[in-house]
Amino acid sequence: MGVDVQRPWPPEPVPWQGRRVPHLQPAGSPSPPRGFLDAASGEPLHPAARAAFEAALDAGWADPGRLYGAARRARALLDGARESVARGLGCRADEVRFAASGTQAVHHGVAGLAAGRHRVGRHVVGSAVEHAAALHALAAATDAAAGPTLVPVDTLGRVDPAAFAAALRPDTALACLQSANHEVGTVQPVPAVAAACRAAGVPLLVDAAQSVGRAAVPADWSVLAASAHKWGGPPGVGVLAVRTGTRWRLPGPGPDPSDGRLPGFTDLPAALAAAVALEAVAAAAPAEDARLRALADRVRERVPATVPDVQVVGDPDDRLPHIVTFSCLYVDGEALITELDALGFAASSGSSCTSSTLEPSHVLVAMGAVSHGNVRVSLPRGVRADDVERFLAVLPEVVARVRDRLGVTGL
Amino acid sequence: MTLAVPGADLVVDARGLVCPRPVVELARALPTVPVGAVLAVVADDPAAAGDVPAWCRLRQQEYVGPRTTPDGPAFLVRRLS
């Protein structure tokens, strides 16, 4: 299983010069709104992405499939964006397609593998803590009665590679594993699972939505999906990368343009802005991630020290730099999030009362963690240390106030 | 109406209560039974199935398991301390 899949991080930047592509200007660092602690849901637009977006509105409006000057400029921008993202992912430019969202990338990634391997069978495997987009795609790709095989996780939220390997069968069409968990930050053992999939001849889709732009993404995937607004790109840009030689077929009506697009007119300014944002955050990643990791460590340490009856969940060490999640006993998550919002802090929750379905987070349930009173803090790039300190200062009072209201203090 | 759950010394009726109330009722009621006794929480909130065992792990109480009863899903806990 000792496959070397680590690549240099950050990747070398793509030389934009000479391709009629807006240069990557030093456009400033991200400066998220005060109190914004929900980066895992999506970051504000990176200043470099804004500059690239505006430039591409003028330079990249034409149809890249046509043969006149403006079209060739659009084509050059699309090619450049593709090359840049490919560099960030460690793959070839012609393996990258831009999708309309991370969810669409996951859906097309799974459905395309299922279509490409329908003769093998319809069995699919994933971890129990995949993003809802992947769970829905897996369910749609397999027999409704049997459903996908979902491999359990331990109390840290991590799958056991041996259990994952044991779930692969001769009729397994595809497997799916996130690079790291979106709710608790735990990094998944992608290299070991990828090795098991390769040994079994099963293509692996890696949902790298939370990792791209923050950490080296393991290279050993057949299909990779990512989402630009998680790294400071604009919303409405997903990335779907399919390794050459993978049996993947465009789901739905074609034809497959095979030129970086899915069928339809790609939002080229947004794709370019996504690529420029990825270069910018990748260049800053080692230093910024170390800073965020230290801030997240401080949250991990201070919350249980200052708030009674709290369970901090997720791996304390092998995790994404920016995510910390905890559950406060006897409190409803909605009340916590609302109180925090009133004080100017934006965080999210996996508690059932905060979900549209009124179901608790399947991630917390799979980990055996308390799902009520849940708060996910995810630090945006550029977050001020002062904001984290202010959050830590108000949290004990907020929890105490909600507990008082429910009459559960001292329970 | 008093609910009965086989194997339980005390039954807490948490039907209609949403998270975190079923666990709150469990935490309130458990000290009222002797150590070694079993308490059942009857709860229809979907979060209870995960939260009752998670609470037991945190509080070092024994989660006996879920039961299906005519009155709804029940979750059994043995008081250890």
**According to the model, what pLDDT value does residue A13 have?**
53
Closest Cα of chain B to A395: distance in Å? 19
What residues of chain B lie within 8 A of the CB of A408, using their CB?
24, 27
Nearest residue in A to B47, CA atom? A360
**A326 lies in some domain:** yes
At position A389, the amino acid (one-letter code) is: E
**According to the model, what pLDDT value does residue A267 have?**
94
A238 and A290 housed in the same domain: no
Q: What percent of chain B has pLDDT over 90?
A: 91
Q: Which residues of A63-77 are buried (b: 16+ CB within 10 A; e: fewer)?
A: ebeeeeeeeebbbbb
Inter-chain residue contact B58 with A373, CB threshold 8 Å:
no
A132 and A90 housed in the same domain: yes
Is any Cβ of chain B less than 8 angstroms from the Cβ of A356?
Answer: no
Q: Under CATH, which architecture does the B10-78 domain have?
A: 2-Layer Sandwich (3.30)
For residues A22 and B32, the model is more confident at B32
**According to the model, what pLDDT value does residue A85 have?**
96
Beta bridge mates, A327: A311, A374
**According to the model, what pLDDT value does residue A12 have?**
56
> Which of A233, A248, A281 corresponds to the end of one domain?
A281
**A97 lies in some domain:** yes
**According to the model, what pLDDT value does residue A28 have?**
78
**A136 lies in some domain:** yes
**According to the model, what pLDDT value does residue A4 have?**
40
A265 and A291 housed in the same domain: no
Beta bridge mates, B63: B77
A105 and A220 housed in the same domain: yes
Instruction: For residue A196, give both structure tokens.
Output: 């098991």
State the Cα–Cα distance between residues A82 and A16, nearest whole angstrom: 12
| Structural domain count, chain A | 2
Pairing mode of beta strands A238-242, A96-99: antiparallel
Domain that holds residue A334: 285-406
> Which of A281, A297, A317 corresponds to the end of one domain?
A281
A224 and A197 housed in the same domain: yes
**A51 lies in some domain:** yes
CB proximity under 8 Å: A 358-397 to B: 358-360, 364-365, 368-373
**A23 lies in some domain:** no
**Comparing C-alpha atoms, which of B43, B35, B20 is closest to residue A352?**
B20
Burial (Cβ within 10 Å: 0-12, 13-18, ≥19) of residue B74: buried
A312 and A271 housed in the same domain: no
Inter-chain residue contact B24 with A411, CB threshold 8 Å:
yes
> Which of A281, A305, A329 corresponds to the end of one domain?
A281
Cis peptide before A15 (omega within 30 of 0): no
CATH code: domain of residue A392: 3.90.1150.10
A194 and A291 housed in the same domain: no
A229 and A91 housed in the same domain: yes
Average pLDDT by consecutive 10-residue portion of chain A (411 residues)?
44 47 61 95 94 92 93 94 95 96 98 98 98 97 96 98 98 98 97 98 98 89 98 97 97 89 92 96 92 98 97 97 96 94 96 77 95 96 97 98 91 85
**A9 lies in some domain:** no
Instruction: Identify the H or E element spanning A192.
Output: helix A190-200
CATH code: domain of residue A97: 3.40.640.10
Count of beta carbons in the 10 Å neighbourhood of residue A375:
29
Q: Which of B18, B24, B57 sits opposite A353 (nearest CB)?
A: B18
State the Cα–Cα distance between residues A147 and A125, nearest whole angstrom: 9
Q: Is A128 within 8 Å of A149 (Cβ atoms)?
A: no
Residue A91 falls in the annotated catalytic set: no
Inter-chain residue contact B47 with A371, CB threshold 8 Å:
yes
**Comparing C-alpha atoms, which of A40, A148, A79, A34 is closest to residue A386?**
A34
State the Cα–Cα distance between residues A42 and A294, nearest whole angstrom: 21
A115 and A261 housed in the same domain: yes
Inter-chain residue contact A411 with B50, CB threshold 8 Å:
no
Inter-chain residue contact B47 with A351, CB threshold 8 Å:
yes
Instruction: For residue A219, give both structure tokens.
Output: 């290279």
State the Cα–Cα distance between residues A279 and A290, nearest whole angstrom: 18
A273 and A289 housed in the same domain: no
CB proximity under 8 Å: B 26-55 to A: 27-28, 45-47, 49-51, 53-55
**A381 lies in some domain:** yes
Q: Is B25 within 8 Å of B54 (Cβ atoms)?
A: no
For the segment B2-25, the average pLDDT, to the nearest whole number, is 92
Q: Which residues of A148-185 are buried (b: 16+ CB within 10 A; e: fewer)?
A: bbbbebeebbbbbbeebbebbeeebbbbbbbbbbbbbb
A46 and A192 housed in the same domain: yes
A94 and A234 housed in the same domain: yes
Q: Chain A to chain B, count of Cβ pairs less than 8 Å apart?
A: 64
